[in-house]
Amino acid sequence: MSGKIDRRQLKTRKAILDACFSLIQKKDIQQVTINEIAEQANINRGTFYLHFEDKYDMMNNFENEMIGKIEEVIVKNIPKEQFNQQFIPSRYDTLVQIFKCYEENKELMQLLLKSSYNSSFQEKLREKLKVILDDEILDRLKGLHYNIPTDLFIIMFTSVSLSIAEYSYQSKSPVNIEQLAELIFKVMLQGSVKTLGLLKNGD
């Protein structure tokens, strides 16, 4: 599927997503059939195949869509000015925006996290974060004495942030995004970031 998607296509795509989200409340997406998705979305099979080649292509598209949204948030929040020693401690606002992105795409995130495609989504997200770090951040941190073990840092960040996101979706009480961001920020700063030597004691 390529090219610009018009409003009607977006509406149908949203109906398919909503149908999948509803169906995975009872069974994994692997056991869901195209007929069930079409019936739940109130479309015919032909309409489904206008959007996706098959169920695997559908999930692959949903993974890429969510990763694209996360990438957009991160890149938009990378400072344009020269990086300084406060780069990592100043990323709280970026984290808030990431959690807002998670919340704004709640059904899509839950579909990816609750299904057997969870590991595929996380692996793709880690690969994308590595590209962003390599292309947008690491070179600009040179000279600040940061020695970032990229792969390990990314694994820690994705595991913690997605686990907290999943917790927020399962919580029966309203969840405050700023409080969630503050929690993970403290966990990362006091735990993995210092452990990995990315902060000095005085930071």
Q: Are 41 and 19 in contact (CB under 8 A)?
A: yes
What radius of gyration do the chain's Cα atoms show? 19
- From residue 167, alpha-carbon distances to 8, 88, 158, 160 in Å are 33, 25, 14, 11
Q: Exposed, middle or buried, 187 (CB in 10 Å: 0-12/13-18/19+)?
A: middle
pLDDT at residue 196, as a whole number:
47
Please give the model's pTM, rounded to 2 decimal places. 0.80
Establish whether domains 1-52 and 54-195 are of one fold.
Answer: no
Domain residue extents for the chain: 1-52, 54-195
The b-or-e profile of 26-41 (16+ CB within 10 A means b, else e) is eeebeebeeeebbebb
pLDDT at residue 195, as a whole number:
46
Fold of 54-195: Tetracycline Repressor; domain 2 (1.10.357)
pLDDT at residue 1, as a whole number:
44
Sign of CA dihedral 103, 111, 163, 132: negative
pLDDT per residue, tens digit, the chain (203 aa), is 445 568 888 999 999 999 999 999 999 999 999 999 999 999 999 999 999 999 999 999 999 999 999 999 988 887 766 555 555 556 778 888 888 999 999 999 999 998 888 889 999 999 998 888 877 776 666 655 556 567 777 887 788 788 888 888 887 777 788 887 777 777 766 655 554 455 555 45
DSSP 193: I
CATH class label, 1-52? mainly alpha
pLDDT at residue 2, as a whole number:
44
pLDDT at residue 77, as a whole number:
82
pLDDT at residue 31, as a whole number:
94
pLDDT at residue 46, as a whole number:
95
Cα 198 to its chain centre, rounded Å, is 23
